[in-house]
């Protein structure tokens, strides 16, 4: 991204491949310590994955990251050069980050070196915008099972009211609700996986031609 007014020069991109949900971390330099801290923060919020995938940059491919993967029993896979179907979604996300960032900088009439102030807004925009390959759901909804709510909802929904709700906190009701949520998420994820496989197969065919 280039130097910002407050110091950071780079963005570390963390992404869930199925849902496209992402988190963007501003940093001064691409180091293994930055990666470890970002992964630990992700895991603390979203739990630990079985596999994480990165390119072969020195900040990813080193003894520190290898030790982290071994300690937490997580498989760390590396993408190969010239395999767009393997790392293409992250490359696309990088382009989207730049595009959204440029639009917001122009919209708010900010200098380029103030990009880090807008990083949370860029992340929110990417996570809350419906995506065609996700059955027109947003990454946030696919990742967390809830529709995003924005400030625009408050502006456009004139009839929005606060109501009292009686919640059944019994164990049986909580269990039933969680099972329904899990079933709904499983169905949504299955649909998305099938679409992704079809799209990846087509991408491989185009690459071979």
pLDDT digit string, tens, across residues 129-149:
999 888 889 999 999 888 887
Predicted TM-score (pTM) of the model is 0.78
- The CATH number given to whatever domain includes residue 31 is 3.30.420.10
Instruction: Convert 133-191 into a string of H (helix), E (strand) and C (coil).
Output: HHCCECHHHHHHCCCCCCHHHHHHCCCCCCCCCCCCCCHHHHHHHHHHHHHHHHHHHHH
Question: Does 31 fall in a domain?
Answer: yes
**Do residues 133 and 195 make contact, with C-beta atoms less than 8 angstroms apart?**
yes
CA–CA–CA angle 84, 86, 88 (5° rounding): 50
Range of the domain at 108: 10-168
Question: Does 104 fall in a domain?
Answer: yes
Question: Does 190 fall in a domain?
Answer: no
Per-range mean pLDDT, top range of 34-38, 143-147, 149-153 = 34-38
Question: Does 94 fall in a domain?
Answer: yes
Question: Does 38 fall in a domain?
Answer: yes
Could you tell me what percent of the chain has a pLDDT over 70? 88
Residues 6+ apart with CB under 8 A from 67: none
Query: Tokens standing for 169?
Result: 């906190």
Question: Does 75 fall in a domain?
Answer: yes
Query: Tokens standing for 167?
Result: 């919640």
Residues 6+ apart with CB under 8 A from 14: 22, 23, 24, 25, 38, 39, 42
Q: What is the pLDDT of residue 163?
A: 64
Other Cβ atoms within 10 Å of 180 Cβ, number: 10
Residue 82 pLDDT greater than 90, yes or no = no
Question: Does 156 fall in a domain?
Answer: yes
């Amino acid at each position: 991204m280039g130097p910002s007014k407050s110091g950071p020069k780079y963005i570390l991109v963390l992404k869930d491949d199925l849902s496209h949900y992402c988190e963007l971390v501003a940093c001064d330099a691409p180091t293994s310590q930055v990666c470890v801290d970002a992964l630990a923060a992700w895991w603390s919020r979203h739990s630990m994955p079985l596999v994480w995938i990165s390119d072969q940059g020195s900040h990813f491919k080193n003894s520190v990251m290898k030790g982290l993967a071994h300690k937490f029993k997580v498989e760390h896979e590396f993408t190969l050069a010239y395999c767009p179907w393997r790392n293409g979604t992250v490359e696309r996300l990088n382009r989207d980050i730049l595009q959204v960032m440029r639009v917001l900088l122009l919209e708010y009439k900010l200098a380029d070196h103030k990009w880090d102030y807008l990083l949370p807004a860029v992340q929110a925009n990417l996570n809350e915008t419906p995506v065609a390959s996700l059955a027109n759901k947003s990454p946030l909804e696919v990742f967390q099972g809830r529709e995003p709510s924005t400030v625009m909802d408050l502006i456009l929904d004139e009839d929005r009211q606060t109501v009292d709700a009686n919640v059944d906190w019994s164990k049986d009701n909580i269990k039933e609700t969680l099972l329904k949520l899990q079933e709904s998420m499983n169905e949504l994820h299955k649909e998305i996986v099938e679409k992704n496989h079809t799209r990846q197969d087509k991408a491989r065919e185009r690459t071979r031609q």
